[in-house]
Amino acid sequence: MKSLILGRASRGRIAIYPGSFDPVTNGHLDLIERGSRMFDRLIVSILRNENKQPLFSVEERMEMLAEVVEHFPNVEVDSFEGLLVDYAHEKGAGVLVRGIRAVSDYEYELQMALMNRRLRPEIETVFLMAGEAFSFLSSRLVKEVISLGGNIHGFVPEPIEERLKKRIL
Ligand code: PNS
């Protein structure tokens, strides 16, 4: 009967993994896999940002993400605009997941986590370390490498590699 009293917890632990995902890399996928093992539901959500000039539209990025997370039964793909913590609250999520690759990520991530905590103290940010094989990987670098003729095999899931080739080459 305890679970009835717990209210939100009885519906399971919901976490949001927010980002730009332009496009999803194997580093993101590694984090999604880790997050899917830690939470009952993991919502991977793309920020709708009018000020950024993405390579892929939000709809294309959602489609690509949906394709590569298909085999995780507790992972969903969504998009959001406005404040991340308000979106998390609407979704009933108590946790924000962010990846840390190197010390250089830490300052920006700490600042965001503390601001988010100030805005909604009940929502926790959890930092996950991607596998070391992905510690150098970013969507920005993958796009740069392929546009300069480099080989991006192994950096992104295969269907994403195909999409990148079609879009850039
Ligand atoms: O993949 P990114 O671009 O590093 O993701 C950044 C993201 C989407 C997590 C961040 O820009 C964000 O949360 N934006 C939503 C607006 C917001 O809540 N701003 C205040 C957070 S400190």
The answer to whether 27 touches 132, Cβ cutoff 8 Å, is no
Catalytic residue among 101, 117, 120, 167: 101
Q: Is the pLDDT score of 4 beyond 80?
A: no
Token pair listed for 139? 């969507």
Nearest alpha carbon, ligand 1 atom 5: 19
According to DSSP H, which parts of 74-102 are helical? 84-91
Per-residue confidence (pLDDT) for residue 126, from 0 to 100: 98
Helix, strand or coil, per DSSP, at residue 27: helix
The answer to whether 63 touches 48, Cβ cutoff 8 Å, is no
Q: Is the pLDDT score of 144 beyond 60?
A: yes
User: Burial level of 89, CB count in 10 A (0-12/13-18/19+)?
Assistant: middle
**What's CA 10's distance to the chain center, in Å?**
25
Mean pLDDT of the chain: 93
Helix, strand or coil, per DSSP, at residue 43: strand
How many Å apart are CA 154 and CA 71, to the nearest integer? 19
The answer to whether 45 touches 75, Cβ cutoff 8 Å, is no
- CATH superfamily for 4-136 is HUPs (3.40.50.620)
Q: What are phi and psi of 160, to 5 degrees?
A: -75, -35
Average pLDDT over residues 107-115: 97
Per-residue confidence (pLDDT) for residue 42, from 0 to 100: 98
Is-catalytic flag, 52? yes
Residues 21-31 have pLDDT tens digits of 999 999 999 99
Residues 41-97 have pLDDT tens digits of 999 999 999 888 999 999 999 999 999 999 999 999 999 999 999 999 999 999 999
What residues are in contact with ligand 1 under a 6 Å CB criterion?
18-20, 47, 83-84, 112, 115-116
Catalytic residue among 2, 3, 52, 153: 52
Per-residue confidence (pLDDT) for residue 2, from 0 to 100: 45
For a pLDDT cut of 70, what percent of the chain falls above it? 93
Single out the residue of 106, 110, 135 nearest to residue 125, CA to CA: 110
**What's CA 9's distance to the chain center, in Å?**
23
